[in-house]
Amino acid sequence: MTTLDRNEQIKLAAKKDSYWRGVWRRLKQNRLAMISLVVLAVIILACIFVPMFSGYSMYQTAPSEANQAPNAVHLLGTDKIGRDLFVRLFYGGRISLGVAVAVTALECIIGVILGSVSGFFGGLVDTIIMRVSEIFMSFPFLMICITLQSVFGNSIPTLIIILAVLSWPSIARIVRGQILSLREMDYMEACRALGISNKQQIFKHLFPNVLAYIIVYVTLSMASVILTETSLSFLGLGVNPPTPTWGNLIQEARNLLVLQQKWWYWVPPGIAIFLTILCFNILGDGLRDAIDPKMQR
């Protein structure tokens, strides 16, 4: 490797480092985004560690202690068969957040690959992929989810696959749009002139420049998936009880007696859902503004 090549690599590394430093600096200036990041970190850590150090499990029942209001022993009370709702709240958070992470990861893998191929090759390949994505986007999302869950059964793997397969077109179109503009840049002309393979052009030279937009999409998608899982679980079509999720914890609120007199059944998971979705959305907006300084207010 020549000295010139090493210098060029150092300059490129420094430029990349300064870009992400700038993103972090601009994000830190957004107080709401930073508060949201801290709140999300607290929620995630609580969901991980609270069940580990609790004296109760999510399935442990005590009929003699059923329907207790919050007290010193059971901080969020107990349900109709005596299960501790404080522990089940954080176990449910594990499941809901885990499903959101898995769905977002899977849909991003599918969408980024298809969007990259579509934007890079164009022509017939682009037309086919985009028409398929339009077909998926034309489906009434929640109704299709309900139908597929009813057909294939309520399980966590089934839920993850269904949500991911129905959600990939959004990120695919974002990636395609970015790559369509990037592939005409001078450095891509240089890549083609040097005979660099298509695979390397896509994943080594184009993908890093789209990564920032994918990160923003991930934060917003997490909120969307949590809301969808909550909706399906509330309807009895998400994760099967007794495995707790935030959605099937608030399912008890369908009973008018519980809704009026046993607020500890549904208020804590409702607040957890509200805070988590709100923080993901605010953080996503903050990341969008930090990544593109022109969008800052």
- Single-letter code of the amino acid located at 60: Q
Q: What is the DSSP letter of 84?
A: B
Q: What is the rounded CA–CA span in Å between residue 231 and residue 254?
A: 13
Could you tell me the residue range of the domain that residue 186 belongs to? 16-295
Distance, in Å, from the CA atom of 108 to the CA atom of 288, rounded to the nearest integer, reads 17
Fill in the DSSP letter of residue 252.
Answer: G
The answer as to whether 114 is a domain residue is yes
- Asked whether residue 65 is domain-assigned, the answer is yes
User: What would the two tokens of residue 2 be?
Assistant: 């020549």
| Exposed / middle / buried, residue 2 (Cβ in 10 Å: 0-12, 13-18, 19+) | exposed
Q: Does residue 275 fall inside a structural domain? A: yes
Kindly tell me if the per-residue pLDDT of 14 is higher than 80.
no
Burial grade of 65 (CB within 10 A; 0-12, 13-18, 19 or more): middle
Tell me the range of 35-44, 51-60, 61-70, 73-82 where mean pLDDT is highest: 35-44
Q: 16-25, 130-139, 222-231: lowest mean pLDDT where? A: 16-25
Give the pLDDT band of residue 4 (cuts 50, 70, 90): very low
Helix (H) or strand (E) holding 82: none
Token pair listed for 50: 């609270």
Of residues 126 and 291, the one with the higher pLDDT is 126
Q: Residue 84 forms beta bridges with which residues?
A: 78
* pLDDT in the model for residue 104: 94
Residue 139 lies in a domain: yes
Range in 47-51, 97-101, 183-187, 233-237 with the lowest mean pLDDT: 183-187
Lowest mean pLDDT, pick from 101-105, 168-172, 256-260, 284-288: 256-260
Residue 8 resides in a domain = no
- Structurally, the chain folds into a number of domains equal to 1
Share of the chain above pLDDT 90, in %: 27
Bond into 242 cis (ω within 30)? yes
Residue 165's domain is classified under what CATH number?
1.10.3720.10
Task: Answer whether residue 4 is part of any domain.
Answer: no
Residue 78 β-bridge partners: 84
Position 1 scores a pLDDT of: 47
